[in-house]
Structure 1
Amino acid sequence: SSSELQPLPLMTVYAASKVYLKSFSEALRVEYQGSGITIQHLSPLFINTKMNAFSYRLQTSSIFVPDAETYAQNAINTLGIVNHSTGYWAHGIQYFFTIVPPMWVRTYIGNHMNKVFRRDYLSTRSATLPVL
């Protein structure tokens, strides 16, 4: 996940686990190099799945938020070609523009985005809670 690219306030454990997975994948790739086993690290951005149901903004497929099938078809095409990929061409563009700013800017933007997503979730949740 591209959550590995910067600290993500409000998603601290999730982002930290993605940093771990990147390091783990890269180390395994070197350990198994030459064994015939392909180890590739994927860093997707947002994909329209139930995992992102916390925000209506991510529940409509678009060029930058593909559905799972579109993402998987594209990601499979990178297997065995590159060691690291976003798996989807439009995510590659987003990835590039994500890593250009310094870390503090990326962290600030991530914090702002997560606050927006939290508001989306809380407004959806409060709309579905029964009134007592």
Structure 2
Amino acid sequence: MDWADLFFISLGSAVVFYYGVKLLLFSRMLFPKVFFPLPKTFFTSQGEWAVVTGASEGIGRAYAFELAKQGMNLVIMSRTKATLDQVAKKISETTGQRVKVIVTDFMKENVFGEIDNQLRGLDIGVLVNNVGMLPSVVPSEFLDSKGLNEIITGLINCNVKTMAKMCRITLPGMENRGRGVILNISSGIASVPFPMYTLYAASKVFVERFSQALQAEYKDKGVIIQAVSPFGVSTQMAAYQKANLVTLSPEDFVESSLQYIKAGDKTYGSICHMVLGWFLRSIPLRILYSDSVLHSLQDYVKKKAVENANATKHATNGNSQK
């Protein structure tokens, strides 16, 4: 056997070993309850309180209810008091847990001093940084956004600054106690540079990198920090598309994502979204960035948004006539 044969055999073995390891790691994600089991008291062992931003609806609301079912008291935060009060009442009635409401607008400046004061002294075991701003459900080019200056400021405040500030407020207590969980909600479209959702996708890249680096810093101190990057979830940001195999309901997504808390510093939260992430990363960017693909995406989302708006309107009219 000459050196060339040895080289190609070694190269082939390395490739087989590499993809074998990746397949093994992927197979673990199919059975999270087996490979990443959580004891029944996992969440309550982290602390007495959970804090959820953007908790008035969608994913944030679902996290709040699920954590309350796990036995945690809740601090729920959003800018709409009436909706928060309704959520708080329902959580209390259905779970018996205490709920504290903090009304705030994360797109504004200088809101964190008051938040810090209201959270001071609480044994916070879980923080879910869920609040986020999407400039428009329908994708569009950067300069086509109306009120672009205000959008830039609001989006950075809401999607980037809020996450970092909330970590600053809650992380010291977790570090001192040697326990805690921080879930920072990113987005599947942050998997690649994503035109037409440029600002939103870029802000979610920050969420992922910040979370992964922060986990490297605090992993040995007993704190779990994870970026959760869903694709389609039936929320206002997705124009309330009907739940299906790909677009999950907020409740189904949250239930699934919590099974992956010990699966690493980033997760897609579900098997179907993990496959979507792999598929998106596999598409050559020159295809993804072609005018035909981008315009087709724009037309599809616009059509779905109109269909869902009409369906909601008809349902509302039907209910009002009963």
TM-score class, shorter: 0.7 to 0.9
**Equivalent residue letter for 1:47:** V
Partner of 1:11: 197
Note the C-alpha offset of 1:82: 2.2
Q: 1:119 to 1:62 in 2, by over 3 A?
A: closer
CA contact 1:6–1:106 (8 Å) conserved in 2: no
Structure 1 residue 36 corresponds to structure 2 residue 222:
yes
Cα 1:111/1:86, change in 2 over 3 Å: farther
Distance 1:123 1:63, change over 3 A: closer
Equivalent in the alignment of 2:282:
100
Is the radius of gyration larger for structure 1 or structure 2? 2
Match of 2:212 in 1: 26
Q: Is the 8 A contact 2:234 2:243 kept in 1?
A: yes
| Structure 2 CA distance for aligned equivalents of residues 110 and 90 of structure 1 | 23
Long gaps (5+) in structure 2: 1-186, 314-322
Provide the rounded CA distance (Å) in 2 between the counterparts of 1:106 and 1:76: 31
Deviation per CA, 1:7-49: give whole Å up to 9, x if none. Answer: 3332211011011111111111111120110011111111011
| 5+ residue gaps, structure 1 | none
Using the TM superposition, give the Cα deviation of residue 96 of structure 1 relative to its aligned residue in structure 2, in angstroms: 1.2
Do the aligned residues in 1 keep the contact of 2:192 with 2:280 (CA within 8 Å)?
no
What pairs up with 1:1-132 in 2 under 5 angstroms? 1-53=187-239, 59-108=241-290, 109=293, 112-118=296-302, 120-121=304-305
Specify the SS of the correspondent of 1:38: strand
Measure how far apart 1:97 and its partner are. Answer: 1.0
Retained in 2: the 8 A contact 1:9–1:114?
Answer: no
So what's the TM-score if we normalise by structure 1?
Answer: 0.79
Cα distance 1:12–1:111, how it changes in 2: closer, same or farther (>3 A)? farther
8 Å contact kept, 1:10–1:111: no
The number of residue pairs the alignment matches comes to 123
TM-aligned CA distance change 1:86 to 1:110, over 3 Å? farther
Deviation, structure 1 residue 89: 1.1
Structure with the largest fraction of strand:
2
* Other structure's SS at 2:273 match: helix
Q: 1:98 to 1:110 in 2, by over 3 A?
A: farther
Maintained 8 Å contact 1:8/1:111: no
Identity of aligned pairs, percent?
25
Q: 1:79 to 1:124 in 2, by over 3 A?
A: closer
TM-score by length of 2: 0.35
